[in-house]
């Protein structure tokens, strides 16, 4: 069974409807993700209730992170499929707080995708 379909209670930081939020344990401080409890591969498979719950959790997470860490900005992102960077086969939306003192501050999620090194032959 997929461990993300039935998370442990200590992993869940917020929940709404059929979705929940958890910390990713990745840098920068406060990185989190929102997941449906239903096992799905892609955000294109979410139903309208799961979309609404995802939105509500993203807003609540942002408020929580603003209070806890006072980030200077955010990135929100989905990785879809192996080529798109999805390493966990359960759909999840990342909320990544960004800080002005980061080495890559001011570069968005797509900065490396748009680089010359990533041009197709």
Burial of 75 (0-12, 13-18, 19+ CB in 10 A): middle
CB 20 within 8 A of CB 12: yes
Look at residue 51 in the predicted model and tell me its pLDDT.
Answer: 97
Which domains, and CATH codes, for the chain? 9-118 (3.30.428.10)
Look at residue 108 in the predicted model and tell me its pLDDT.
Answer: 83
What integer is the mean pLDDT of 71-89?
93
The yes-or-no verdict on residue 69 having pLDDT over 90 is yes
Please give the Cα distance from 119 to 50 (Å, whole number). 35
DSSP secondary structure letter of residue 73: E
The yes-or-no verdict on residue 49 having pLDDT over 90 is yes
By C-alpha distance, which of 9, 14, 34, 39 is closest to 24?
34
Look at residue 81 in the predicted model and tell me its pLDDT.
Answer: 94
């Amino acid at each position: 069974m997929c461990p993300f379909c039935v998370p442990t209670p200590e992993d869940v930081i917020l929940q709404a409807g059929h979705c929940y939020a958890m910390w990713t344990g990745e840098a920068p401080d406060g990185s989190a993700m929102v997941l449906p409890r239903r096992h799905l591969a892609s955000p294109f498979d979410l139903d309208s209730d799961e979309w609404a719950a995802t939105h509500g959790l993203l807003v609540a997470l942002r408020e929580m992170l603003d209070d806890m860490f006072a980030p200077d900005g955010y990135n929100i992102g989905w990785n879809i499929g192996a080529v798109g960077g999805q390493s966990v086969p359960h759909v999840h939306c990342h909320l990544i707080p960004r800080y002005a003192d980061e080495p890559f501050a001011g570069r968005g999620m797509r900065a490396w995708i748009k680089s010359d090194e990533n041009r197709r032959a």
